[in-house]
A = this chain, B = another copy of it.
């Protein structure tokens, strides 16, 4: 009898059992936002590696302009590198395109990719093109690096830390923001340099899914304030927590560092807010119950 998988976690466990243990240079691997590699040939820096996929009908609906798909395809892994405190460098892109694709579609897709590459200083260094008998598939690998002392992981949050988010949340699909969001690269690099930031990740699945993941990695519980969540115009608290695809940064800050970080953030970052939305609790305390966010294993229904 066929066994169905109940969750992505179960799938990750199944996959990991079939693979050899990673080498000692792999500081973070499967299950983290990016892989983190400490190479003996590198000095003072860690290598970051991220792969990400977009599937037509799963990550974007049919009829989406191809240049917007291109922008989103490169900006998603850029957001992951930013969330580690790192800088993006080199991209490799695989496209499996439907048979009817001609130069107009390819040009439009790569115009969007090129725009994002220019804006965030990424070199596209390779790729692979193939025909798809079905929908468009895009896979983007992005490398980056981060000074050793600046690396931020999901796992460093401690009870008492403030939970903060950059920017505003919710309505990403409704407003089309999931196709033209700005990954928080400068902000991530700035926050990476702050010792008081104890954990960081990006908000791709929505606060309701991503905050439990961060808390789980850190071995903590959490309480989210019921008001004060920075929301995009027209969005409810429920939408702000569960819509997903915000690509803002979620981070935790040691309370004694907050006043200084808040003050300097307001000088350094003119356009993007940094808002406390909750507090980290000791494991065992009851976490806030949140509506969960977007699951990329299921098709878009919007």
Contacts and interface: CB of A to CB of B under 8 A. Distances in A.
Total copies of this chain within the assembly: 2
Interface string A138-164: 010101010000000000000000000
A130 to B, nearest CB: 5
Given A106-B15, A133-B134, A141-B141, A90 B126 contact: no
A137 B2 contact: no
B55 A92 contact: no
A104 B42 CA distance: 40
Interface string A91-133: 0111010000011101100110110011000011111111111
Given A2-B104, A92-B35, A137 B132 contact: yes
A128 B49 contact: no
Contacts of A11: 106, 129
Interface in A34-62: 34-35, 37, 39, 41-45, 49-53, 55-59
Interface stretch (A20-28, A170-178, A240-248, A273-281): A20-28
Interface stretch (A179-187, A214-222, A226-234, A293-301): A293-301
A49 B135 contact: no
A103 B14 contact: yes
A4 interface: yes
A56 to B, nearest CB: 8
B123 A20 contact: yes
Given A3-B104, A29-B123, A130 B55 contact: yes
B296 A49 contact: no
Given A22-B124, A55-B96, 5 more contacts: A14-B107, A34-B126, A49-B126, A132-B137, A133-B135
